[in-house]
Structure 1
């Protein structure tokens, strides 16, 4: 069903919107508007993408995994691709992915089930990783292996 929407319904919707807008404002202004939205979208994508990379770099330098920045990067890439696709509906979706407030709203709505599911699995994972006696002591140390030159088993291992 999603492929039907992407490859059949979406192009029909885009053509209908282009024809409707073109009949109201004319063909050349419609083409100009589509090109203008693509240029504005690319400018936004460059600026937002650079900011996301800087934030991700800061997080990695702090020793953290930049999950939020990676998800935002995916949304920025999808938004840029949608803005390069001619049409008003895809432009609206693309701008929604590029505008920070709307992007955060979309990320929150789309990823909430994934985050909740991951959090419940992580709790289960940590539950099973504990020792049976409940202790969480970590013992650090170094070791070395002493080999006896007269032992025939040590000679076979070399």
Structure 2
């Protein structure tokens, strides 16, 4: 059902152009469409360079370029909507160029992407293993000083590590540390 409005969009645009053309004249509609195409192409050309420069300047100052890139993306979508002939697409393009509305759209888009990313991170692999957990942390970790001797532990199937104690630890005892 989501594809139905996209399929109807060109027919609605054409119907609206015919209705407006009946009221104001066909020449005015053609002039409007050509003007919007020229403005859209020039905006797309200008905004591409401007958004990349703004993102680069933000990166130099230590800001994350994500917001600048997202704003540039929405402006580019607005320019593309201006290039598409029709009055509805021009109205949607105008919405993309209004700063407070663009920020609202970006905020909602980022929130939606965050929820999707969190949902993706909590999913397990269809193969039964979590692809991001490679088994690290499954076991015990022991800290030791000195050299270690390893022997295969036949009962548990693991590796037994024996530690040689150094002289400094053998000579001192906890009761000696409390004496002055």
TM-score by length of 1: 0.62
8 Å CA contact 1:48–1:98 kept in 2: the answer is: no
Structure 1 stretch displaced more, 43-52 or 99-108: 43-52
Task: Measure, in 2, the Cα distance between the counterparts of 1:52 and 1:12.
Answer: 34
Per-residue CA deviations over 1:51-71 (Å, capped at 9, x if unaligned) read 422220012223544111221
**Higher strand proportion:** 2
Q: Which runs of 5+ in 2 are unaligned?
A: 122-132, 138-180
8 Å CA contact 1:44–1:98 kept in 2: the answer is: no
1:109 and 1:65, CA in 2 relative to 1: closer, same or farther beyond 3 A? Answer: closer
Structure 2 residue 95 is the aligned partner of structure 1 residue 96: yes
Structure 1 stretch displaced more, 85-94 or 40-49: 40-49
8 Å CA contact 2:47–2:76 kept in 1: the answer is: no
8 Å CA contact 1:41–1:95 kept in 2: the answer is: no
Q: Which runs of 5+ in 1 are unaligned?
A: 123-127, 133-158
> Which residue in the other structure is 1:27 paired with?
26
The CA RMSD over aligned residues, in Å, is 2.9
Which protein is bigger by CA-based radius of gyration?
Answer: 2
> Which residue in the other structure is 1:70 paired with?
69
Per-residue CA deviations over 1:23-49 (Å, capped at 9, x if unaligned) read 110111011111222333344444544
Deviation at 1:19, TM superposition (A): 0.9
| Higher RCO structure, 1 or 2 (CA under 8 Å, sep 6+) | 1
**Higher helix proportion:** 1
> Secondary structure, in 3 states, of the residue corresponding to 1:81?
helix
Structure 2 residue 86 is the aligned partner of structure 1 residue 87: yes
Count of matched residue pairs: 124
1:129-140 aligned within 5 A = none
Deviation at 1:9, TM superposition (A): 0.9
